[in-house]
Structure 1
């Protein structure tokens, strides 16, 4: 079983021809409200792939809470450990998507910021095969969940997003770290995104991480293990909206690990799932079934073989 501890947000999306510059106003489409939140997205992606998934999070008692809970349940995610906070606002994300399918996102945490360590179902976390964590909830809650999992021997997948400095104890409890190019650059202190495998391995080793995945968007992912660095190309697709594609990757990665796959094989499933998600609008509404993800993966692998 996969347990996901973290955020649940309503995504308020607008499409525009391009992203606005600072101080600039651009005209966009009608607003579109869809279920989201990094952790909720990861849970939905894993469940859509057939994993048994439980979500631990917090919502308010407003109209967005029902959208999020209904969507999670429809994907097959267990929601009995989601806390409803009377009087609180459910977390929201304001998203602008441009004509090239790139996006900018601003998150208002709402109830997510009130998820406390005492809200964690310790037995559930201890019994999980994989625990998924991100950084849209209080760091003390994230750390406590990781400590419970570490004590139980549970695999801890930490998505270091949105980026912030974290306690060294959290990194020590992490089995697999997931970062994108920007987050890796933040870790290294570089002024530009870092994509070189040797540099990535050196930066990660400096913080005690030996197993990691660096997601590269359309360029796939770098898988970092003690044995070296492997670049995995992503399936080529026509992107419509990249919102939630990274979360789809992480949910699929967790699914592969829960099934006993190697980190590299789990990342291949993540690549296919993230690429598929980019072909449709929204986050959770764009996620593939296991059949759809594996068909894309097979076709991509066939296309990459020499004639």
Structure 2
């Protein structure tokens, strides 16, 4: 069985209607597990009730907690959501928290060395302790996927550039691409040119640019593939990008064709968007049925 390590934040999103488990790396690990990939979450929680509850959630979702470190000094992470004028939401990613202090250890190092891929984002690199651990573990990974997640002010240009230089595959949205392009005097209006510059500058083999309802583009050194989003009735968009990425990774590791990889990733992203929450309860057969339904709809309108 293929094995993937996801490194970074696990947290509680504290919303007006209550708290929900969150964190992009955790969402990716959850969906990989659902898709038949052996996935592991490397993170850290506080020795507090919220940490215990989060650990119990991970176990309930079928994820190993063997690499979730326990912190006796820092609390479990929370993201505080506040509703403002015109129902606009603002988010405070509280710091410092336990996952800011993920430590290197030999057990985790062995896990990364034996895995087929390591997935990591930029948020977990905001603190020097976790950033150092990430850098050390990334050196041991066979295949590195950098999921760019800009959460101002929790990133720096130097950190992003370092991680871009280490990554074999990069996933980012079109807004994040424009920000990075602007660092090099590029207005980002021409996606193809911006992506090509990133590939050349950092030696990145593959780049995925997600565009919400407009689908996604996948770039290799030799080709570009564009894929439209599946049309759905949106319940919420939380975690849709994470599910897209997990499906991409799963299909890639299973050796599927580029077209099948992108189709599957677009389908899971759409399926999650049509459900409530980032981690709906589903099986691969549910996704297959969803894809079959959508294919019938396409045929109907042709």
- Using the size of structure 2 for normalisation, the TM-score is 0.83
Question: 1:245, 1:9 → 2: CA distance?
Answer: 17
Q: Which runs of 5+ in 2 are unaligned?
A: 126-130
Question: Among 260, 269, 274, which residue is 2:269 paired with?
Answer: 274
Tell me the equivalent position of 2:195. 201
1:122 aligns with 2:114: no
Q: What SS does structure 1 have at the residue aligned with 2:68?
A: strand
Query: 8 Å contact 2:209–2:218 — kept in the other structure?
Result: yes
Question: Among 136, 139, 143, which residue is 2:123 paired with?
Answer: 136
Q: What does 1:30-45 correspond to in 2, within 5 Å?
A: 31-45=17-31
1:81 aligns with 2:67: yes
Shift of 1:263: 5.0
Are residues 135 and 223 of structure 1, via their aligned partners in 2, closer, same or farther at CA, if it must alter by over 3 Å? Answer: same
Question: 1:302, 1:159 → 2: CA distance?
Answer: 33
Moved segments of 4+, more than 6 Å: 190-193
- Using the size of structure 1 for normalisation, the TM-score is 0.82
Deviates more, 1:42-51 or 1:114-123: 114-123
Tell me the equivalent position of 2:167. 174
Shift of 1:119: 7.5
1:289 aligns with 2:295: no
Question: 1:159, 1:141 → 2: CA distance?
Answer: 17
Are residues 258 and 229 of structure 1, via their aligned partners in 2, closer, same or farther at CA, if it must alter by over 3 Å? Answer: same
Q: Which runs of 5+ in 1 are unaligned?
A: 15-30
Question: Among 252, 255, 275, which residue is 1:257 paired with?
Answer: 252
Question: 2:262, 2:268 → 1: CA distance?
Answer: 10
Shift of 1:262: 4.4
Question: Among 92, 117, 121, which residue is 2:78 paired with?
Answer: 92
Are residues 94 and 274 of structure 1, via their aligned partners in 2, closer, same or farther at CA, if it must alter by over 3 Å? Answer: farther
Question: 1:116, 1:282 → 2: CA distance?
Answer: 30
Question: Among 139, 148, 152, which residue is 1:160 paired with?
Answer: 148
Shift of 1:195: 7.1
* Equivalences, count: 285
Tell me the equivalent position of 2:128. none
Question: 1:192, 1:288 → 2: CA distance?
Answer: 42
Q: CA RMSD in A?
A: 2.9
Question: 2:282, 2:156 → 1: CA distance?
Answer: 30
Shift of 1:170: 3.0
1:236 aligns with 2:231: yes
Shift of 1:280: 2.5
Shift of 1:115: 1.0
Are residues 221 and 103 of structure 1, via their aligned partners in 2, closer, same or farther at CA, if it must alter by over 3 Å? Answer: farther
Deviates more, 1:291-300 or 1:207-216: 291-300
Question: Could you say which structure has the greater relative contact order, defined with CA pairs below 8 angstroms and 6 or more residues apart?
Answer: 1
Question: 1:289, 1:177 → 2: CA distance?
Answer: 27
Query: 8 Å contact 1:45–1:287 — kept in the other structure?
Result: no
Query: 8 Å contact 1:112–1:136 — kept in the other structure?
Result: no
Tell me the equivalent position of 1:20. none
1:106 aligns with 2:92: yes
Q: What does 1:17-32 correspond to in 2, within 5 Å?
A: 31-32=17-18
Residue by residue over 1:273-293, the C-alpha shift from the partner in whole angstroms, topping out at 9 and shown as x without a partner, is 221111223222x36421222
